[in-house]
C-alpha cells in the first residue's frame, strides 16, 4: 500500500520478489507514493513451469545455495540478501509452510539472475560512483519520512544491515537501469497508427479508473485499530485521530491523507476494502505489511470513457515499454543460459533456465 513504508516498493510478498531483475528499478526516484514504474521485481515467481534441469554437473560445497558464473553463494549469504530485500523492498516471507519452499527456491533464482545482470553491467563497462548512490539514498530517506540519515542508519543496524549494503543495492539498481537503456536503445518507438490499433482492440478498457480520496491511519495492533475505527465511525475527527494514533510518519501530520488513488495503487486487501466503502465512511481494520490500517473515504471520482487523443501518448509509452521489456527478456534469456547456474537440491527452482517472461509463461 502506498502508505509510509521503510520499503521502497509496494504490494504483496510474491509481487515484490516476482521476477527479480525482470526490469530495472528507479529505487525510489519517483517517491514511494508514486511507486516505481520500471520495477526490478516482475515475474520470476509467476512461473510454475515443470522444466527441471538438474544443474549438478559439479557438486556444490556444503552450505551452498547455488553457483553462478563460477561464484558460490552460500545459504547464509542468501539469507543476508533476503534480509536486505525485506527492508529495502518490503519483501515478506510467507508464513504458510506450503509456500515457504517455493519462496526459498524463487529467492535463489531471483538472486542468481541478479548476479547474472550484475556481470552483464560490468561487461558493458557500467560503473556507478558511491556518491551517486549516496545522493540517491539521501533522497529516498527524505521521501520515506525518516528524521535524518542517522535515524535511518540506526534502523538498518537494528536489522543487521549496514549502510554499505544499501549503497551497494542502489548502485546495483542504477547499473541495471543503465544496462537496460543500453540493451533497449535500438527498439523502434511506437507510432500513432500502432496506438490507434491498440486503442481499437482494447476499447472496453479505455476508461479513466475510478479514483478515491483516501485517508489512512496505521497502528501496530488490531485492538488499537478497532478502537480507532470505532471513534472514526462515531464521527470522530479523522485527522486528529491520525495525529494521535498513526505510526505512518509521512501522513500522520497530513490527516492521514493518501490523496486521490486508484485501487491498483494500493495493497490488494486494503484496496478492496477502500473501494467497497461508500463516500464519507470509515473502513477496516485491514492488515498489511505496514501494520493494521483504518481508512476513510472522501471524494469518489467514477470511471469514465476516454478518447483516443486523451490516451494516445500513454498507449505509445506502454507499447514502447512492452517492446523494450521483450528485448530485455531476450537479452536475459541468453545471459541466464550462458551463466550455467548450479542450484543445491533444496534451492532448485522449477524453471532454472527460464527468463522472466518464460517463467511467467511456464516454460
* Superfamily in which the 13-188+316-360 domain is placed by CATH: Porin chaperone SurA, peptide-binding domain (1.10.4030.10)
Q: pLDDT tens, 61-98?
A: 999 999 988 899 999 999 988 888 888 777 778 888 88
Higher pLDDT, 52 or 106: 106
Residues 283-323 have pLDDT tens digits of 999 999 889 999 999 999 999 999 999 999 999 999 999 99
Q: So where are the chain's domains?
A: 13-188+316-360, 207-304
pLDDT digits (tens, 9 = 90+) for 47-71: 333 223 333 445 889 999 999 888 9
pTM to 2 decimals? Answer: 0.64
Q: How confident is the model at residue 361 (pLDDT cuts 50, 70, 90)?
A: low
Q: What's the whole-number mean pLDDT along residues 124-134?
A: 94
Q: Determine the average pLDDT of the residues in 131-138.
A: 92
Question: 27-36, 65-74, 141-150 — which one is most confidently predicted on average?
Answer: 65-74
pLDDT-above-70 percentage for the chain: 83
> Could you identify the residue written with the cell 498489511?
288
For position 83, what pLDDT does the model report? 87
Q: Identify the CATH number of the domain defined by range 207-304.
A: 3.10.50.40
Question: pLDDT of 207-230, one tens digit each?
Answer: 989 999 999 999 999 999 999 999
The mean predicted confidence, pLDDT, of the chain is 82
In this prediction, residues 261-268 reach a mean pLDDT of 92
Amino acid at each position: 500500500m502506498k502508505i509510509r513504508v521503510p520499503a521502497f516498493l509496494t504490494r504483496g510478498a510474491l509481487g515484490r520478489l516476482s521476477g527479480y531483475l525482470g526490469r530495472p528499478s528507479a529505487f525510489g526516484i519517483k517517491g514511494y507514493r508514486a511507486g516505481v514504474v520500471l520495477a526490478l521485481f516482475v515475474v520470476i515467481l509467476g512461473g510454475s513451469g515443470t522444466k527441471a534441469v538438474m544443474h549438478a554437473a559439479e557438486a556444490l560445497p556444503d552450505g551452498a545455495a547455488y553457483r553462478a558464473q563460477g561464484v558460490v553463494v552460500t545459504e547464509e549469504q542468501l539469507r543476508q540478501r533476503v534480509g536486505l530485500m525485506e527492508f529495502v523492498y518490503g519483501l515478506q516471507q510467507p508464513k504458510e509452510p506450503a509456500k515457504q519452499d517455493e519462496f526459498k527456491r524463487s529467492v535463489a533464482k531471483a538472486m542468481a539472475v541478479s548476479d547474472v545482470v550484475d556481470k552483464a553491467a560490468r561487461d558493458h563497462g557500467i560503473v556507478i560512483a558511491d556518491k551517486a548512490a549516496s545522493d540517491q539514498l539521501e533522497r529516498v530517506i527524505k521521501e520515506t519520512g525518516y528524521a535524518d540519515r542517522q535515524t535511518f542508519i540506526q534502523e538498518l543496524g537494528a536489522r543487521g544491515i549496514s549502510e554499505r549494503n544499501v549503497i551497494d543495492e542502489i548502485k546495483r539498481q542504477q547499473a541495471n537501469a543503465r544496462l537496460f537503456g543500453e540493451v533497449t536503445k535500438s527498439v523502434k518507438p511506437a507510432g500513432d497508427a500502432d496506438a490507434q490499433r491498440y486503442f481499437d482492440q482494447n476499447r472496453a478498457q479505455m476508461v479513466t479508473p475510478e479514483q478515491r480520496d483516501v485517508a489512512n491511519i496505521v497502528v501496530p495492533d488490531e485492538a488499537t485499530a478497532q478502537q480507532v475505527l470505532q471513534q472514526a465511525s462515531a464521527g470522530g475527527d479523522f485527522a486528529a485521530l491520525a495525529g494521535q494514533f498513526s505510526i505512518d510518519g509521512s501522513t500522520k501530520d497530513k490527516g492521514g491523507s493518501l490523496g486521490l488513488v486508484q485501487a491498483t495503487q494500493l495493497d490488494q486487501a486494503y484496496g478492496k476494502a477502500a473501494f467497497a466503502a461508500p463516500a464519507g465512511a470509515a473502513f477496516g481494520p485491514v492488515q498489511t505489511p505496514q501494520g493494521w490500517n483504518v481508512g476513510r473515504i472522501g471524494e469518489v471520482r467514477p470511471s469514465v470513457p476516454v478518447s483516443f487523443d486523451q490516451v494516445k501518448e500513454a498507449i505509445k509509452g506502454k507499447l514502447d515499454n512492452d517492446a523494450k521489456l521483450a528485448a530485455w527478456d531476450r537479452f536475459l534469456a541468453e545471459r541466464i543460459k550462458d551463466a550455467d547456474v548450479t542450484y543445491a537440491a533444496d534451492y532448485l527452482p522449477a524453471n532454472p533456465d527460464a527468463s522472466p517472461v518464460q517463467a511467467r509463461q511456464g516454460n
